[in-house]
């Protein structure tokens, strides 16, 4: 699966994974995988990204129930607008 993502640091120093404009937070990693849940999971969005330990996307569920959040890049990190 071809997928491009990046890690961003927000101004309150949270590390988020950003893919296709959507952001995800990292759940507790397991031995072989790291799962990232949509930042709007609390609003009922079930989108999630699964990476292996090499950072390769092995599963991407991007069925978001909302529009992507808007972030702008500042000198001190990304800021949600
Ligand atoms: Zn979502």
Q: Report CA(14)–ligand 1 centroid distance (Å).
A: 17
CA of 32 to the centre of ligand 1 (A): 24
pLDDT at residue number 81: 87
Print pLDDT tens along the chain (81 aa). 457 899 999 888 889 999 999 999 999 989 999 999 999 999 999 999 999 999 999 999 999 999 999 999 888 888 888
- Determine the distance separating the centroid of ligand 1 and the alpha carbon of 35, expressed in angstroms: 14
Residue spans of the domains in the chain: they are: 6-80
pLDDT given at position 2:
59
Q: Return the HEC string of 6-52.
A: EEEEECCCCEEEEECCEEEEECCCCCCEEEEEECCHHHCCCCEEEEE
Assign domain 6-80 to a CATH class: mainly beta
Which residues lie closer than 8 Å to 27 by C-beta, 6 or more apart?
34, 35, 36, 37
Residue 65: predicted pLDDT = 97
Neighbours of ion ligand 1 (CB under 5 A): 38, 40, 45, 47, 64
Q: Name the pTM for this structure.
A: 0.87
Cβ–Cβ < 8 Å for 51, 43:
no
Rounded to the nearest whole angstrom, what is the distance from the C-alpha of residue 30 to the centroid of ligand 1? 22
């Amino acid at each position: 699966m071809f997928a491009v993502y990046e890690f961003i640091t927000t101004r309150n120093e949270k590390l988020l994974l950003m893919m296709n404009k959507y952001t995800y937070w990292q759940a507790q990693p397991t031995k072989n995988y790291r799962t990232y849940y949509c930042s709007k999971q609390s609003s009922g969005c079930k989108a999630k990204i699964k990476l292996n330990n090499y950072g390769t996307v092995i599963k991407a569920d991007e069925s978001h129930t909302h529009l992507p959040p808007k972030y702008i890049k500042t000198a001190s990190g990304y800021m949600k607008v």
